[in-house]
A and B are shown apart, each in its own frame.
Chain A
Amino acid sequence: MKNSLILLSFIFIFSLNSSAQDKFSTKQGTVFFEANVPSFEPVEAKHENVSAILKNDGTFAALALVTGFRFKIALMEEHFNENFAESATYPKITFKGKIKDFEASKLTEEITEFTIIGTFSMHGKEKEVKLPVKVYKKNGIVYVSSQFSLKPEDFDIKIPSVVSKKIAEEIDVTVNLQLNKM
């Protein structure tokens, strides 16, 4: 009797522990950005291979390989890689942070707004940001989405004056992640 009680409490503690360390992840997250200026060719790209890991306590990490951004116009993609993002030198864009007041196990199907505080690292520069995120959970999958703006100058990305009129000063970014339990 005593033994089984001990065993039971062990199982209980273990199960608590496992839920506290639950992880959700994806390798196929999408990031879309646009820097459109009216009446010029649209400057936009999509990435469908973004990796992300979210822990139960809101700890979050994401990684986008710069070369994976696809533009509609091939020349734009080449310029983006060679002149702006310099993907050969800086192959990754990463984000590390934590969602405030978050607990994945308490998520419901209702979309809830949270704030994530973290650091973007791109083009050899880092920037701390505070961004809004919308999160919900359905059939065990955690859905995370966010929309925000970034300035290329914050990451030391210089837009040559020849094309600066064709690229917006602020880049609008949309992130969509479907995180499966690991």
Chain B
Amino acid sequence: MRNLKKILLALLIVLIGLFIGYNYLYHDHRDISSEEAEIKVNAEKLTKMFQLNEASTVLNKTVVVWGKITEIEDNTFTIDGKVHCTFKVLPASNKIGDSISVKGRCIGYDDLFEIVKLDQCSIL
């Protein structure tokens, strides 16, 4: 009887260990749309942050950025010609000239086009 209890306890510990291990290895991706944004700025300011060498404060962070849509291409918006936002599905109702706020993950500064890029974007 006591042996059985020990075996059951050991089994339980192993199961818990496996569960924790599995959750660590296969934890979910970040859900940017439900994360609280660490940085909230307009498009111009976000670009400036990279020019002022403050990249580390925004890289891979969830940001909220606002401005006017200046370009729509495939599943992306460009805001004020400075911030390029990629959506999984492009919101159909927005058009060029609209003022919007977008939440997304900042992946860095693109010096070919001199724009900041966001992915996993959602409209606020």
Chain B nearest CB from A140 CB (Å) reads 15
Chain A nearest CB from B78 CB (Å) reads 8
CB < 8 Å: which of A63, A81, A87 contacts B110? A63
Q: With A63-B111, A67-B107 given, is the CB distance from A28 to B74 under 8 Å?
A: yes
Chain B nearest CB from A29 CB (Å) reads 11
List, in ascending order, chain B residues with CB within 8 A of A134's CB.
none
A65 lies within 8 A of B110 (CB): yes
What total of chain A residues lie within 8 Å of the partner, measured CB to CB? 25
The number of A-B residue pairs with CB atoms under 8 Å apart is 71
List, in ascending order, chain A residues with CB within 8 A of B27's CB.
74-75
B38 in the interface (beta carbon within 8 A): no
Chain A nearest CB from B75 CB (Å) reads 8
Binary interface encoding of chain A residues 48-90 relative to chain B, with 1 for a CB under 8 A from any of its CBs, else 0: 1101110000000111011110100111010001000001100
Q: What separation, in Å, do the CA atoms of A75 and B73 have in the docked complex?
A: 31
CB < 8 Å: which of A28, A53, A77, A87 contacts B29? A77
A interface, over-half SS: strand
B76 in the interface (beta carbon within 8 A): yes
A92 in the interface (beta carbon within 8 A): yes
Q: What separation, in Å, do the CA atoms of A8 and B110 have in the docked complex?
A: 40
A27 in the interface (beta carbon within 8 A): yes
B112 lies within 8 A of A91 (CB): no
A91 lies within 8 A of B86 (CB): no
Q: What separation, in Å, do the CA atoms of A62 and B24 have in the docked complex?
A: 35
B interface, over-half SS: mixed
Q: With A51-B113, A63-B112, A81-B60 given, is the CB distance from A28 to B86 under 8 Å?
A: yes
Count class of interface residues, chain B: 20 to 34
List, in ascending order, chain B residues with CB within 8 A of A49's CB.
84, 86, 107, 117, 119
B25 lies within 8 A of A75 (CB): yes
Chain A nearest CB from B6 CB (Å) reads 33
Binary interface encoding of chain A residues 5-41 relative to chain B, with 1 for a CB under 8 A from any of its CBs, else 0: 0000000000000000000010110000000000000
CB < 8 Å: which of A27, A61, A63, A81 contacts B76? A27
List, in ascending order, chain B residues with CB within 8 A of A74's CB.
26-30
B55 lies within 8 A of A91 (CB): yes
B59 in the interface (beta carbon within 8 A): yes
Chain A nearest CB from B37 CB (Å) reads 17
5 more A-B residue pairs beyond the given contacts A27-B117, A28-B74, A28-B86, with a C-beta to C-beta distance below 8 A: A63-B112, A65-B110, A67-B105, A91-B108, A91-B109
11 pairs, CB–CB < 8 Å, chain A vs chain B: A27-B84, A49-B86, A51-B110, A52-B112, A53-B112, A66-B108, A67-B59, A67-B60, A67-B105, A77-B29, A88-B59
Q: Chain A residues in contact with chain B, CB under 8 A?
A: 25, 27-28, 48-49, 51-53, 61-63, 65-68, 70, 73-75, 77, 81, 87-88, 91-92
